[in-house]
Amino acid sequence: MNPADERGGPGAGGRPRITVVGLGGGALRALQRYRREGWAEVGLLGLDTDARDLEADRDLPGLRLGRESLRGLGCGGEPEAGRQAAVDGREEIVAALGSPDLLFLVGCLGKGFATGALPEVAALAAESGAPCVVLAATPFSFEGEQPRRRAEESLAGARRVADCLIPLPNDLLLQTVDGSDRADRLFERADLWIQRAISGVAGPLLRPGRMTVDPGTYRATLKGGESRVLFSTCRVPVGTDLAAVQRELVASPLAGAGWERARPDRLLVSVGSREPLPMSTFSEWSTGLTAFFRARESATVSLWNDPSLGGEVEVTLIARTEIGRGGREGPEERTRSPDHPVHQSKLASKRRQAAARPGARQEEFDDLLAGQERGFFRDGASEPYAGIDLDKPTYLRRGIRIRHP
């Protein structure tokens, strides 16, 4: 049975099925808190090999993997053991996931089960066809090079199949707590940010409002070809001005690098509040946020209400950018855009003139230039950006050739 059904029957009466899957002990503790403080409509499922972690909260639906190989013990900090447990339990995982409309995977990476199992479970989630959002906490820098490298490998594997990947760096969380706080407050803060990310995405689907969305909107926003999805969320007091909201979104621990210069193809703005926002605030925020991030194709604004927000407003942004197009305007777009009047280059006309001349020899010096194009950097590794070697001199990147008289 879908774990969502065991927790209040999401999917009944036309409601979307939303499931949050926690991988490993750290994520299970986050789900235990969400079970107490989160929304009952969201289904929860814990995956682990450690029987003690799964039995810590018997009200949380769980699935123990690696029964024969690990016999109820943990992975001993070895990601490969977690990966193999997920591979061996593939059929059980697929049955437990069911047919959700939206799926979250939560894991604390660096060691053990979650690190190894996350790419495997994300691949199974992708096969379900539902939009898949991955929330992954990454190790502290003091934990050493090996956990950091393992976490990066796990993230890379999950990124290939998940629709949206949201890293939550533990080092960044250190900046969100006071130095006099207890150490366990840091992990509570991590659980809180995970809870906010889930509510920011699920709110427009589960809470009433004037401009809510359906699962199809998320499929259109998140799912596509080769693309990158950016995510950010924040909570601000009612009455906060637009500029402060924009700063909070860019500075959020959940905001990936690139928001400040992104120009997505599709943008979803989710705004939750206790009561409907005043018309002036709605107009200012919806216009200002969509203009600030400048979606190429479409921008969707969703307004929803939740009494638990009290005197705060929750603002969430989800943006998808096609990898082939990049986040910035290309030269052709700048030429077409009235906001960026740029003179047409004379390069094309010069090429046509040269080609029209009899005996024109544009490739005269190709052999001489071969191997010399990168100058001082010719012995170093080339790292192309969008297929262009940026170490080449500018005139060579544009294709200009010296004409031999």
Least confident of 4-18, 231-245, 306-320, 374-388: 374-388
**Band (12; pLDDT cuts 50, 70, 90):** low
Residue 129's pLDDT is 87
Query: How many angstroms separate the most distant Cα atoms in the chain?
Result: 85
Residue 297's pLDDT is 81
Residue 146's pLDDT is 94
Instruction: Find the radius of gyration of the CA atoms of the chain.
Output: 25
Whether the per-residue pLDDT at 154 is higher than 70: the answer is yes
Q: CA separation (Å) from 220 to 209, 266, 280?
A: 21, 9, 29
β-partners of residue 166 are 135
The more confidently predicted of residues 21 and 373 is: 21
The more confidently predicted of residues 330 and 110 is: 110
Total residues belonging to the chain: 405
Mean pLDDT taken over the chain: 78
Residue 262's pLDDT is 66
Residue 220's pLDDT is 80
Whether the per-residue pLDDT at 21 is higher than 90: the answer is yes
Q: Please write the tens of the pLDDT for every residue from 199-229.
A: 989 998 998 887 878 888 888 887 766 667 8
Q: Please write the tens of the pLDDT for every residue from 111-133.
A: 899 999 999 999 999 998 889 99
- How many H helices and E strands in the chain? 16, 10
Residue 389's pLDDT is 52
Q: What is the DSSP letter of 276?
A: P
The more confidently predicted of residues 164 and 392 is: 164
Q: Which amino acid is it at 243?
A: A
Fold classification of 5-206 (topology level): Rossmann fold (3.40.50)
Residue 355's pLDDT is 56
Q: Please write the tens of the pLDDT for every residue from 43-93.
A: 999 999 999 999 988 899 999 999 888 988 889 889 999 999 999 999 999
Closest CA to 128 of 90, 155, 159, 166: 90
- What mean pLDDT comes out for the span 174-197? 80
Angle at 128 between CA 169 and CA 168, to 5 degrees: 5
Whether the per-residue pLDDT at 378 is higher than 80: the answer is no
Residue 218's pLDDT is 83
Residue 226's pLDDT is 61
Q: In the Cβ-directed half-sphere of 226, how many Cα atoms lie within 13 Å?
A: 4
In 3-state terms, the chain is what percent helix, strand and coil (to 5)? 45, 20, 40
Q: In the Cβ-directed half-sphere of 329, how many Cα atoms lie within 13 Å?
A: 15
Residue 348's pLDDT is 53
- What mean pLDDT comes out for the span 155-163? 91
The more confidently predicted of residues 397 and 104 is: 104
Whether the per-residue pLDDT at 349 is higher than 70: the answer is no
Residue 102's pLDDT is 93
Residue 235's pLDDT is 93
**Band (374; pLDDT cuts 50, 70, 90):** very low
Residue 384's pLDDT is 53
β-partners of residue 47 are 23, 63
Q: Does domain 215-322 have CATH number 3.40.50.261?
A: no
For residues 402 and 379, what is the distance between their CA atoms, to the nearest angstrom? 24
For residues 321 and 222, what is the distance between their CA atoms, to the nearest angstrom? 10
- What mean pLDDT comes out for the span 371-387? 46
β-partners of residue 229 are 320
Residue 376's pLDDT is 41
Q: What is the DSSP letter of 175?
A: G
Distance of CA 57 to the CA centre of its chain: 29
Task: Provide CATH 3.40.50.1440 ranges for the chain.
Answer: 5-206, 215-322
For residues 257 and 277, what is the distance between their CA atoms, to the nearest angstrom? 30
Q: Are 69 and 75 in contact (CB under 8 A)?
A: no
pTM confidence score: 0.74
The more confidently predicted of residues 18 and 12 is: 18
**Band (296; pLDDT cuts 50, 70, 90):** confident
